[in-house]
Chains A and B, each alone.
Chain A
Amino acid sequence: MDITNLTYLFYGYTAAFIVITAFVLLLVSRSRRIDRELTRLKAMVEDREKA
């Protein structure tokens, strides 16, 4: 077995999964931020309508 070859194969798949995972984490973080913002704004609208 060619270990150099195996090492690069490992690097390749690891790099691919790092990119995909980083993108998923970015999406999750953005979703949370958007949900928080939407909830905050809706609460502000309700407060202003009451006032």
Chain B
Amino acid sequence: MREKATYLLAVLGALVMIYNLHVIFTGLPDDALQGMIFRIIFIHVPADLVADTFYTVALVTSVLFLAKKNFLYDSITVSCIEVATMLILVNLVTGSIWGRNQWGVWWTWDLRLTTQLMKFVLYLGYLIIRPAIAEPTQRATMSSIVAIFAYADVPLVWMAIRLPNVRTNHPSPVLGNGKMAAVYNAPFGMGMLALLLIGSALVLIRLHQETSQREIDSVRRELHAI
């Protein structure tokens, strides 16, 4: 059942993505200031928003693990964080390419970009350090604490272009304030939906792997006992 749901999500996500790419490249007018390159927004921003959604799920499941000590919550946390970190990499790479075209540089130590890079490094650190702790309960507890602290960077990134008196090269917010032309809303929403469906399928696959890994650990213990 879970396998079917995973495939269904992945196929639906891929179809929405393909249809949306068709709309983005053939049905939208160029931006008056940026030209064609503005179309990168349809993958750059959704990648971050979907990643933040998964990071928020990871925050909730981390707290739940600490409260209830149920390993399912730990599995959901690591699955969400792994997929979200991959999406943040997509966000950083596409943003860098857009920046090279629009600003003439691949990277600048601007508040928004720096906090976003911090987010990537913090969660990458979580994924790298986690396997170093062998004892499952200790690993899950430490991982949950790190995941909760790492989440502190998520609102920082959001605020980085909204705080007063902060100089930033990054474009100001365009969502929800009418600054983005209405014709771009549908492809933007579809971009979000496609990545959310694909991301959810990847989280389910990763969750299945975590469950299997726990089964492997259990069989290993059984082997030692025989």
Contacts and interface: CB of A to CB of B under 8 A. Distances in A.
Interface of A: 1-2, 4-6, 8-9, 11-13, 15-16, 19-20, 23-24, 27, 30-31, 34-35, 37-38, 41-42, 44-45, 48-49
A30 B47 contact: no
Interface stretch (B67-75, B116-124, B175-183, B206-214): B206-214
Nearest to B24: A13
B114 to A, nearest CB: 21
Nearest to B95: A12
Nearest to A31: B209
Interface string B21-58: 10000000000001111011001100100000000000
A16 B43 contact: yes
B212 A34 contact: yes
A1 B212 contact: no
B190 interface: no
Interface in B147-180: none
A2 B36 contact: yes
B188 interface: no
B152 to A, nearest CB: 25
A49 B202 CA distance: 37
5 closest Cβ pairs, A-B complex: A8-B101, A41-B219, A12-B97, A5-B35, A12-B40
Contact of A45 (B36, B43, B93, B219): B219
Contacts of B39: 9
Interface of B: 21, 34-37, 39-40, 43-44, 47, 83, 86, 89-90, 93-94, 97-98, 100-101, 198, 202, 205-206, 208-209, 212-213, 215-216, 219-220, 222-223, 226
Given A8-B97, A12-B94, A48-B226, A38 B36 contact: no
A9 B37 contact: yes
Contact of A34 (B36, B40, B216, B226): B216
A29 to B, nearest CB: 11
A38 B97 CA distance: 42
Contacts of A12: 37, 40, 43-44, 93-94, 97-98
Contacts of A41: 216, 219-220, 223
B219 A24 contact: no
B222 to A, nearest CB: 6
A31 B212 CA distance: 9
B202 A24 contact: yes
A30 to B, nearest CB: 6
A16 to B, nearest CB: 5
Contact of B86 (A9, A19, A37, A44): A19
